[in-house]
Amino acid sequence: MAAQKRLNRDELIATALAVADAEGLDAVTVRRVAQAHDVTPMALYRHFPDKDGLLDAIAERLLTGAVPPEPDGRPWHRQMHDLLSSLLAALRPHPNATPLVLTRVMLSEAGLAVTERCLALLAEGGLSVDEGAETACQVLSALVTLVVTEPGRMLGEDRQAHEAALRTKRASLLALDPARYPHVVAAAAPLTDCPSDDAYYARGIDMIVTGMRGAAGARQPV
């Protein structure tokens, strides 16, 4: 019987993540994943207690892709740059699932490892425990926002519809009164779609780390 099929937990998580990537988190259900593996939903409950458990597993999968760099003696802000780059690299391929880490970052060993390294670096930078905790939360929110609000990122799998939506948005900005909104009109193209995804994310991390250094009272040259 299909319900007796032996299931691999990693494969189930991969399927759930693929559904999120293609259709969004609302499409991820125990039933949907079960159908993809030709089993009944009850078969998945050996691995996940409910849908929240399945979402927890997706978040853990994302965070597992972020490997905190080992301490290497460089200034704390440079090591922080590498840490955030590692986390961002793990999140970028999965923008639809990325918001899960906001509430689930400390529910797995992988998330705890990233959090511990971040807090350690902030302490090295001179922030108190309270300041470090608040800053770490704000930084995670900023990284998630970078991913989910990337200008021009694909929404769904229909590339023609995506391109049409970008053209419509760009045209609406170009149609604004240039005397009243000269800078918005001039930036219509980059506001609609990133000229360079890599440059967009690199600039985002630079801004975040610069802000963290300012909060820590750092004045060293980058």
Crossing angle for the helix pair 76-91 and 51-64, to the nearest 10 degrees = 130
In a domain, 55, yes or no: no
Dump pLDDT digits (tens) for 118-163.
999 999 999 999 999 999 999 999 999 999 999 887 666 678 888 8
Number of domains in the chain: 3
Listing DSSP states for 116-135 in one string gives HHHHHHHHHTT--HHHHHHH
Backbone angles phi, psi at 150, to 5 degrees: -55, 120
Question: Rounded to an integer, what distance in angstroms lies between the CA atom of residue 71 and that of residue 52?
Answer: 34
Locus of tokens 């999965």:
94
CB-CB contact of 33 with 15 (8 Å): yes
| Phi-psi domain of 105 (left: phi exceeds 0; alpha: psi -120 through 50; beta: other) | alpha
- pLDDT tens per residue, the chain (222 residues)? 344 567 889 999 999 999 999 999 999 999 999 999 999 888 888 899 999 999 999 999 999 999 898 999 999 999 999 999 999 999 999 999 999 999 999 999 999 999 999 999 999 999 999 999 999 999 999 999 999 999 887 666 678 888 898 999 999 999 999 999 999 999 999 999 988 999 999 999 999 999 998 888 754 444
The answer to whether position 184 is within a domain reads yes
Domain ranges, residue 14: 2-48
My answer on whether 206 and 123 are in the same domain is yes
Token reading at 111: 């998330």
Question: In the structure encoding, which two tokens stand for residue 71, read together?
Answer: 């301490």
* Cβ(10)–Cβ(19) below 8 Å: no
Rounded CA-CA distance 210/189 in Å is 27
Residues ≥6 apart with Cβ < 8 Å to 192? 151, 152, 166, 169, 170, 173
CATH number at residue 33: 1.10.10.60
pTM value? 0.86
Q: Does residue 165 belong to any structural domain of this protein? A: yes
